[in-house]
Amino acid sequence: MGVIIVAAAGNFATVRPFYPAAFAPRYTDPHVAPLLSVGALNPNGSVALFSDDGPWVSCFATGAAVVSTSPPPRPAAASPSSLWTPAPAGPGRRRLRSGFAVWSGTSFAAPAVAATLAVALYQGAARVTC
């Protein structure tokens, strides 16, 4: 059916399997949708310290210091209900003033791989390497 499942490998800096991504090596049956587990790379191409790694990780993509959208900071008087609180500033969560923030995690690397696969499938690539 042309379905490929892409799962984030986890941010625990371990080789211990993290599920569902760790199911990746087990799904080699041609009748089952392929599953890729994705770890995170630093902008320089090295494996990010927080990224899970191991024989069950299928591939890696940039997942550290990724600029993404984020709710812009709001003045206290205009803040929404107490159920919504913006993510605090800190490692992996640096807020910018424009509704963007710098984030890190395998959950940012996985969509990059999914997008690359989608483009390759759309263009009719016979083989894609991760």
pLDDT on residue 69: 86
Higher pLDDT, 109 or 3: 109
Q: Is the peptide bond before 20 cis (omega within 30 degrees of 0)?
A: yes
How is residue 69 annotated by DSSP? E
Sorting pLDDT into bands at 50, 70 and 90, what band is 85?
A: very low
- Helix, strand, or coil (residue 111): helix
Of 75, 68, 50, 70, whose CA–CA distance to 60 is shortest?
50
Higher pLDDT, 69 or 95: 69
Asked if pLDDT for residue 44 goes beyond 70, the answer is yes
Asked if pLDDT for residue 77 goes beyond 70, the answer is no
In Å, what is the CA distance from 111 to each residue of 48, 97, 107?
17, 25, 7
pLDDT on residue 52: 98
For residues 84-94, give the mean pLDDT.
Answer: 51
Percent of the chain, pLDDT > 70? 78
Gap between the Cα atoms of 87 and 71, Å rounded = 9
Sorting pLDDT into bands at 50, 70 and 90, what band is 129?
A: confident
Asked if pLDDT for residue 127 goes beyond 90, the answer is no
pLDDT on residue 26: 79
Where would I find the beta strands (DSSP E) of the chain? 5-8, 35-41, 59-62, 66-69, 93-95, 100-103
